[in-house]
Amino acid sequence: MNTPRGPGVIPDGALVEATARGDAAAYTELLDRHTRAVFRYAWGLADRQSDVDDIVQETFVVAWRRRKDIRLVGSSALPWLLTSARYVAMNTNRQRRALRTDEIDEHTGADDAWYRQVAHADAVEQLRWVRSEITALDSPDRELCELCLLQDRTYDEAAAILGLTPTNARKRIQRSRARLRSSRAAQGMEQTS
């Protein structure tokens, strides 16, 4: 994942260094920059949606406590944060399961909670599929999709970061979405064969 670039944007590396020295403003900037991506990732990992906010919050508490251990991948702190979120989610899910005291009766599995879990599992699988398809794209299409679709940047912001025109960015996103739809349709055809 790429960190935002462009005039006036502080790179993740500088923010991580300042955070390691205890700079709360740099930590806040890092948090603001990556919260949406960490939230989306946590949503895909949490057994219960009510735990997502707690997982995100705990991820950033871990980041502050271990601020001297944050490592960049490329020029981004996001992979380190996502790895931390995965561990926090696994621990949260494990604790939740250990404390579960549900009794099985004739109605267990027949309520709508079961259907929400199936929908959640489908959403997690779709997110994994989309991420793998985006990773397979060539640069700058991959970077553009990561910025717009995963980091929730506007087309204009992403275009400025990547040195593209807004029109070019929109066309590239449109082509990438068409490829995703086409690939998804082809995958559906393979599954029905």
Under 8 Å CB-to-CB from 105, ≥6 apart: which residues?
A: none
- What average pLDDT is seen over the chain? 81
Structure tokens at 172: 């590239």
Model confidence at 3, in pLDDT bands (50, 70, 90)? Answer: low
Model confidence at 166, in pLDDT bands (50, 70, 90)? Answer: confident
Domains of the chain, first to last:
7-100 (1.10.1740.10), 116-186 (1.10.10.10)
Cα distance between residue 79 and residue 9, in whole Å: 19
Cα distance between residue 179 and residue 8, in whole Å: 34
CB contact at 8 A, 55 and 92: yes
Report helix, strand and coil shares of the chain as percent, to nearest 5.
Answer: 75, 0, 25
CA-nearest of 124, 150, 119 to 137 is: 150
Stretch 9-36: mean pLDDT: 94
Which range is most confident: 87-96, 136-145, 148-157? 87-96
Q: Is the pLDDT of residue 5 over 60?
A: no
Q: Is the pLDDT of residue 20 over 90?
A: yes
pTM: 0.51
